[in-house]
Amino acid sequence: MFEKKNLGSGFSATTILIITAVLIFVSAQSYLEMRTPDPDVDRVVPANGFARKKLSDYFDGLKETPADTDVFIQQGEEPGGTVLILGGTHANEPASTLAAVLFLENTRINQGRMIVVPFANIMGRTHTYPQDGHPQIYHIKKEGSKSRIFRFGARVTNPVHQWPNPDIYIHPGSGQTMAGVERSNLNRAHPGRPDGCITEKLAYGFLKLIQKEKVDLAIDLHEASPEYPVVNAMVAHERAMELAAIVTMELETQNISIRLEPSPKQLHGLTHREWGDHTDALAVLLETANPAMGRLRGRTDEELILTGTDKAYRKAFDLGQLYIPYEDGTEPIAERVARHVAVVKELAFNLEMVREGKGIDLEGVPDYDKIVDLGVGAFLAD
C-alpha cells in the first residue's frame, strides 16, 4: 500500500529515525537495568554466622572481573565435613538460586561447615535469551504486601562479557566437542582453566574453592524442562554414588521420589564429572522441573515461573511426553525449592555414613512439607 503512493521522503526518514532513537533508548534502559539492578533485586540476608568472601579470594584471576561472585561460609562449633551448595549456575533456573538463598538465610551449623554460593554465574543474570520472552525479574511473595525480587537471567554468560563463541566448542580438558554456545555455559566449562575465557576462569575459581576449603560434598543445583529425562533427579559421580543411593532411599520413605543417575564418564565439563575427577569432593547435581524453560511452553510470564502452570505442558503430559507427574497441571516454585532443600539436607545428614568424622549437623532449615505449605517467601528474610 505504501509503495504505490511512495510516501517516503526526507521528512519521514527523519521522523522515523527520531522514533527509532527513542525506542533504542527505552530498550537500552530496560537491558541495562539487568546489569545494575535496584539494590532490592537479588538481595540476600545471610543468617548469623556466615562470613562473606569473594571467589577471587580463591583465584586471583577473577578479581575485578564481572565473574567474581559472593561466597558465604559458616563454621560450626564442632569439627566435621564441609558442604558446598552452588545455586545459580544457570540464571534461568530459579529454584536453584532460591534453594541456595534459603540455606543462606536460615541455616545454623552445629557441626562441620557450609559454603553457599547463591549466584554462581552472575554474568548470566545480566541478560535474558533473545526471543524467549522471559521476564527480567520475578517476585517471591511474603506476608502482607512484601516480596523479595530476583533476576531471571539466561543459561549462559552475557555475550557482552564473552564474545564471540566458535561454531564448535572443544572442551579444553577432554577434547570433547560441543555446540559453540556451550563455551559460555558454566556447567560445560569445568574444571576450567586459569588462562581461558571468562566462563572457564569462573569454573577454575570453583575448582580452587573446593580444593582450598577441602570440600567433602559439593552440590550443584539446577532445573530443566519437564520433557527432559533428567528431572526430579540426582546425578552422582561414581565416588558419590553410595551416598546418593542412601539419600534416594531415605527420600522415598518421606514420599519424595527422585531418580538416581550415574554421571556419564564421557560427558565432560559438568560439575558432577569434573569436580569428582579433579577434587576429593563427592560431587552431585540436582535437577527439578521448570516449565518456564521448556520448548513446549505457551505464554511466558512471571506466573509461569512461579506456578509452572501451562496448558501445553498439561497436554504433553496427557500424551506421555513428560518425565514428571503433572496431573494437576502445575509445578510450583515452592515444591521445586522444597525438593532441592530436602535432598541437600539428606545428603549433608548422611555424609558421615560414607566419610567418617565428616558429619554435618545443621538446624533452622525448614522441611519439605513446610516449604510447600507456606511457600518459599515464608522462609526468606524481610
Partner 1 sequence: MIISWIYWVIVVLVILLVVRCLYEEKSLREQLVAAMVLIPLVLRALFIK
Our finding on whether 45 is near partner 1 (CB under 8 A) is no
Stretch near partner 1 under the rule CB under 8 A, chosen from 12-20, 108-116, 244-252, 331-339: 12-20
Q: Give the ranges where 235-280 is alpha helix by DSSP (H).
A: 241-253, 271-278
Q: Which is nearer to partner 1, 11 or 266 (CB)?
A: 11
Q: Which is nearer to partner 1, 16 or 179 (CB)?
A: 16
Our finding on whether 28 is near partner 1 (CB under 8 A) is yes
Give the Cα separation of 258 and 252 in Å (integer). 8
Stretch near partner 1 under the rule CB under 8 A, chosen from 3-11, 38-46, 111-119, 183-191: 3-11
Q: Which is nearer to partner 1, 13 or 170 (CB)?
A: 13
Q: Which residues of 330-352 are buried (b: 16+ CB within 10 A; e: fewer)?
A: ebbbbbbbbbbbbbbbbbbbbbb
Our finding on whether 12 is near partner 1 (CB under 8 A) is yes
Show the cell assigned to 58: 580463591
String marking each residue 163-182 x if it binds partner 1 according to CB under 8 A: xx------------------
Show the cell assigned to 87: 545455586
SS3 for 139? strand
Query: Any idea which residue has 555446540 for its cell?
Result: 179
Binding-site member from 45, 160, 170, 179 for partner 1 (CB under 8 A): 160
Q: Choose among 85, 122, 121: nearest CA to 106.
A: 85
Our finding on whether 11 is near partner 1 (CB under 8 A) is no
Our finding on whether 22 is near partner 1 (CB under 8 A) is no
Asked whether the beta carbons of 180 and 169 are under 8 A apart, the reply is: yes
Using a 10 angstrom Cβ sphere, with 0-12 exposed, 13-18 middle and 19 or more buried, the burial of residue 147 is: middle
Give the Cα separation of 20 and 204 in Å (integer). 43
The full length of the chain comes to 382
Q: Which is nearer to partner 1, 26 or 249 (CB)?
A: 26
String marking each residue 112-141 x if it binds partner 1 according to CB under 8 A: ---------------x--x-----------
Give the Cα separation of 209 and 279 in Å (integer). 10
Our finding on whether 357 is near partner 1 (CB under 8 A) is no
Stretch near partner 1 under the rule CB under 8 A, chosen from 156-164, 200-208, 218-226, 236-244: 156-164
- Asked if the bond preceding 37 is cis, omega within 30° of 0, the reply is no
Our finding on whether 319 is near partner 1 (CB under 8 A) is no
Contact positions vs partner 1 (CB under 8 A): 1-3, 5-10, 12-13, 16-17, 19-20, 23-24, 27-28, 31-32, 127, 130, 160, 163-164
